[in-house]
Amino acid sequence: MLRLLQVNRNVRSIRRYRQIIGVLAEYGLGQLLEYLNLSQMVAASRRLLRRGSGRSTDHLSPPQRLRLAMEELGPTFIKLGQLLSTRADIIPPAFVAELALLQDSVPSIPFALIQAEIERELGAPTASRFALLQQEAMAAASIAQVHRARLIGGEDVVVKVRRPGVAEAVETDIDILMGVALLLERHMPRSDLYDPVGVVREFAYTIRREMDLSREGHAMERVRDNFRGDPTLYFPRVYWEATARGVLTTEYVDGIKVSDLAAIEAAGLDRREIARRGAVTFLKMVLEHGFFHGDPHPGNVLIMRDNVICLLDFGMVGRLDPDLKRYLTDLLSAVIKKDVKGLVETVVGNVETSETLNLGALKRGVAEFIDHFYEIPLKEIEVGRMLLDFIDLISTHRIKLHPDLTLLVKVLVVVEGMGRELDPQFDMAGHLRPFLERELREQRSPGRIARELEQGVEDYLSLAKSLPRDLKGVLNKINRNRFRIDLEHRGLDRFSRELDRCANRLSLSMIIAALLIGSSIAMQTNRGPLLFGLPALAFFGYSCAGVVGLWWMVAIVRSGRL
C-alpha cells in the first residue's frame, strides 16, 4: 500500500513538473530553468514558447511575470510568493514590491464539496453541529473557504474550511520546491548566504501550520490570553466542538473595516484613538509578548463600538524569542538614536555575516543611512519604511536576518500605514520610544543581569561536563584510524558537468570524422556489394555520419549555445 501511495505521489510530481515548466515558459521565465542547468527542461520550455498560448508578456517586467506565474500555479506558489515578499534581505526590492501584490482570492468551489469536507473533518453530519450553514461563501482563498453559519445553540459563527485536496497538492509542490532548492544550492554562487533549502524548509513549516486550522484557533486564544483584561481589544471565540484540523469555527463579529474611514466617521468613532490603540497593541505583541499577528491587513482588522479593535485571521503569526527581542530592541534603539557605531556593532555581532564582509563599506553605508534621516524630525519618520531601507542596505553586504524579523518589518509597514490613514499626525516612533526605554531598563536591571550570569555559568558547567567525553571520542577515532575530515568543493560540480559535455561533443565529432574518413576510403576501393552504383559500406557510413551530424547540430541550436 505504501509503495502504491509513493507511485501515485511520483506520478503527481511528474505532472506537476510539466505544469510548472509550461507556466514558466508562457510567462517568459524559462531562463530560470537554464540557470539551474536543466538543459532538457530549457529545450522543452522553448518548444512550449514556440507553440504558445497566444499570451504576450513582452510588455511585462520580470517581477510582474513572476507574480502572475505564481498566481496561476496555485496556493503553494502564492504562499511562497507572500513569504518571499517578507524577505527583503534575500531578493531584490522590485521583486519584494511586486510579490506583495499577490492576490490570494479564487472562485469558490461548490457547496456540496465544502459540506462533505466539513462532515469528514468533524466526523458527523453538519446538521448535528449547525442549525444553519449558508451555501454562498463569504470569501474564498487558495487554501480555505469561509461560510456564515449558526450553531445548534443559536450562536452566529464563521466557518473556515480547508479546500478538499489542497493538502496533497501542497505536499507535491513542497517536494518539487525542495528539489529546486537543492539545485540552487549546487549551482548558485554563494548559496550559503541565501540558504534556498532553509527558505523552503521555513516555507514548508509555515504553510503546513497554516493548513492546520486548529493551530490558528490556538494562536487566536494565545493572543487573547496575552491581552486578557484589556477592554480596548476583542478576539472572536473559538468553538472547539465544531473545529478540527481542516475546519475552524469562530464567533461572527459585526464591525467596520479599519479601511472604511467614512463608516468610522459616520459611527462617531475616534480615528486618532483607534490609531493609537492599534500601535500600542502591535508593539505590545512584539516587545512584551514576543508573539504577533503576521498578517494585519485592513481586511483582518474590525472596529467595534467604543473604538474597540477586533483582530481576525491568525493563520500567519511571528515569534520572537528573548535573544531576538533583545537584538530588535538594540537595533531600533540605535536607529532612533542615530547611533552609527552602535548600529554597526549590533548588526555584525548578532547575525550571520559573510567571510568577505567589508566592514569599512558597511560603516560608510550605515553612516549614509543615518545621515539621510538625521535632519528629519522623529515624528515625521516612517519607522517601517526606514527599517525596509535598512534591510535593503545590509542585504547588499550579504548579511542574513532572521525570517521573523523581516516578517515583523513588513507587518510594521502595514500597521504604520493604517495608522497614518486613520490619523495624518500618527507618530509610530513616539509610540515606540516608551517600549524601547522600558525594555532597555529591564535589560540593565539587577534581576535580568543575575539571570543571564546564572545561565552563563550553567552553560560553562555543561561544556566542562561534556568536554572530556567529546575529547575521548575524538581520540578513540584517531587511534582506530576512523577520524575523517570532509572537504566540500563548492562550484566544481558545474565545471565538471561542462567538462563532461565538452568531452562528449569532442568524442562525437571524432566519431563523425572517423565515419566520413572510413566511408571515403571504402568509396575508393569499389569492393563489396553496391547500392545505387556505390559501395554499400561507404553509403551506409555517409548516411550514419549525416544523420548523427544533423541531430547533433539541432541539439546545439536548441540549447542556445552555438
Is 295 an active-site residue? yes
Task: For residue 214, give Cα distances in angstroms to 91, 116, 217, 250.
Answer: 32, 18, 5, 11
Asked whether the beta carbons of 304 and 260 are under 8 A apart, the reply is no
Could you identify the residue written with the cell 587511534? 479
- Tell me the β-bridge partners of 159: 147, 249
CA distance 237 to 221: 8
CA distance 310 to 300: 8
How many other CB atoms are found less than 10 A from the CB of residue 40? 10
According to the model, what pLDDT value does residue 5 have?
A: 38
Asked whether the beta carbons of 418 and 301 are under 8 A apart, the reply is yes
- Tell me the β-bridge partners of 158: 148, 250
Phi, psi of 157 (to 5 degrees): -135, 170
According to the model, what pLDDT value does residue 39 have?
A: 47
Phi, psi of 480 (to 5 degrees): -95, 10
Of 89, 173, 295, 404, the catalytic one is 295
According to the model, what pLDDT value does residue 221 have?
A: 95
For 317-472, where are the E strands, in sequence order? 317-319
Q: What predicted TM-score, i.e. pTM, was given to this entire model? A: 0.71
According to the model, what pLDDT value does residue 116 have?
A: 94
Could you identify the residue written with the cell 516578517? 407
**Chunked mean pLDDT (size 10), the chain, 562 residues:** 44 73 74 55 50 60 84 83 74 80 77 94 93 91 91 94 89 85 70 73 86 93 94 95 95 93 94 94 91 86 94 88 83 77 75 66 80 69 79 76 80 88 88 84 77 78 80 78 66 64 75 77 69 69 77 67 52
Asked whether the beta carbons of 36 and 199 are under 8 A apart, the reply is no
The contacts of residue 18 (CB under 8 Å, 6+ apart) are none
SS3 call for 161: strand
According to the model, what pLDDT value does residue 223 have?
A: 94
- Tell me the β-bridge partners of 248: 160
Burial bucket for residue 176 (CB in 10 Å: 0-12, 13-18, 19+): middle
